[in-house]
Amino acid sequence: MTGEWIRPLICPVCARPLGDYGQVWRCPAGHSFDVAREGYANLLRRHKKLPETVGDTPEMLRARREFLARGFYEPLSEVINEIVVTAVATLPAPVIVDMGCGEGYYLRRLAARLAGQPTALFGVDVAKTAVRLAAKGGGGHGRYLVADVNEPLPFADQSVHVLLNLFAPRHPAEFARLLAPGGLLLIVIPAPDHLQSLRDRFVLMGIQPEKGAHITAQFAGLFVAQPAQTVSFPLQLDAFSLSWLIQMMPGARHLTPPQQEAIAQTPGMETVASFVVMRMMRDE
Ligand SMILES: [Zn+2]
């Protein structure tokens, strides 16, 4: 076996610990998972065929990568990094998992911020295309895997110190199982007024105002919620970034021709990004 980093991972078939054998991860029962050239492994249960609509489409991923590469959401990434850095400050070798990592923007920036500290970083997403992109761009800083948040997750009980869940689906019972006592769950969702002027202008779908309360209720009893924090900052969008931003939005595939035309005719605009950052602590 080559690495200690794999310690938190368990076999998705039999839940025994996985070992790192270079090009393959394998459990003592002989279940093995090939590591792709880009450096990720597929830990979905073998027989499960996911519908095509699960996870982000390649178009959404490409738009997100272009948009994020321009630094528009850097202020949010900075807030996330500060919270995580503080949370792991006293831990000798923290395990950090980004559950729903997408193309890996936030985990990449966190890895850069934690460079030089012995941390184990994992990026998990159900969309293989996303995980492949994340692993390719990860520069060897993290380990990436394909797994479904609706299934038992391939991490051992209490093996994770920080769990990031950024604009991604959640599984309260599984999150509680894999977080260590005192561990931090950091959830980020769009605030109800996120991109309000843009939504109004192009008649785009709104955000459920009760989403934050719903999540707090979902996790009550399993986690102790800290006061939520709102992070808002202006965005100066040119025509390209406006189009990418709209393609990143969940309703993008249902835009009508008049909406598409209105967007295409817009040279740019200013709007405000607004997020709710929720911190939940696993009971000691
Ligand atoms: Zn196994």
Distance CA 220, CA 264 (A): 44
Q: What's the pLDDT score for residue 2?
A: 57
CA of 43 to the centre of ligand 1 (A): 11
Residue 58 predicted with pLDDT over 90: no
Q: For the chain, how many structural domains are there in total?
A: 2
Give residue 8's domain range.
1-35
Ligand 1 centroid vs 32 CA: distance in angstroms? 7
The pLDDT of residue 141: 66
pLDDT bin (cut points 50, 70, 90) of residue 47 is: low
Q: What is the pLDDT of residue 176?
A: 97
Q: How far is the CA of 102 from the centre of ligand 1 (A)?
A: 26
Q: How far is the CA of 18 from the centre of ligand 1 (A)?
A: 8
Residue with tokens 């994770």: 160
pLDDT cut 70: percent of the chain above it: 94
Same domain, 226 and 263: yes
Quote the ligand 1 centre to 156 CA distance (angstroms).
13
Ligand 1 mean position to 173 CA, how many Å? 22
pLDDT at 49 over 70: no
pLDDT at 3 over 70: yes
238: domain CATH number? 3.40.50.150
Q: For the segment 70-93, what is each residue's pLDDT rounded down to a tens digit?
A: 999 999 999 999 999 999 999 999
Residue with tokens 């950090």: 96
Best mean pLDDT range from 42-46, 113-117, 141-145, 186-190 = 186-190
Residue-level pLDDT at 84:
97
Give distance in angstroms: CA of 33 to centre of ligand 1.
10
Query: Which of 41-45, 154-158, 185-189, 226-230 is the least confident region?
Result: 41-45
3-state class of 148 per DSSP?
A: coil
Q: How far is the CA of 53 from the centre of ligand 1 (A)?
A: 28
57 pLDDT band (50/70/90 cuts)? confident
Query: Comparing C-alpha atoms, which of 83, 72, 121, 86 is closest to residue 101?
Result: 121
For ligand 1, a single-atom ion, the residues with CB < 5 A are 11, 13-14, 27, 29, 31
User: What is the average per-residue pLDDT within 41-66?
Assistant: 76
Task: Tell me what the mean pLDDT of segment 138-148 comes to.
Answer: 82
CA of 149 to the centre of ligand 1 (A): 19
Q: How many other CB atoms sit within 10 Å of the CB of residue 119?
A: 22
Same domain, 6 and 144: no
Among 257, 120, 121, 273, which residue's Cα sits nearest to residue 207? 273
If asked whether residues 97 and 15 sit together in one domain, one would say no
**CA 128–ligand 1 middle distance (angstroms):** 21
pLDDT of 204 reads 87
pLDDT exceeds 60 at position 269: yes
Contact 138, 144 (CB under 8 A): yes
- 17 & 41 share domain: no
93 and 216 inside one domain: yes
Measured in Å, residue 202 CA sits from the centre of ligand 1 at: 50
Which of 15-19, 21-25, 126-130 holds the top average pLDDT?
Answer: 15-19
Residues 16 and 82 in one domain: no
The residue type found at 257 is P
Q: Are residues 16 and 127 in the same domain?
A: no
Instruction: Compute the distance from residue 164 Cα to the ligand 1 centre, in Å.
Output: 26
Whether residue 189 contacts residue 215, with contact meaning beta carbons closer than 8 Å, is answered with yes
Q: Are residues 25 and 100 in the same domain?
A: no
φ, ψ of residue 20 in degrees (nearest 5): -95, 110
Q: Are residues 16 and 40 in the same domain?
A: no
Rounded to the nearest angstrom, the distance between the alpha carbon of 121 and the centre of ligand 1 is 22
Ligand 1 centroid from CA 30, angstroms: 6
Same domain, yes or no, for 99 and 145? yes
Q: What is the pLDDT of residue 61?
A: 85
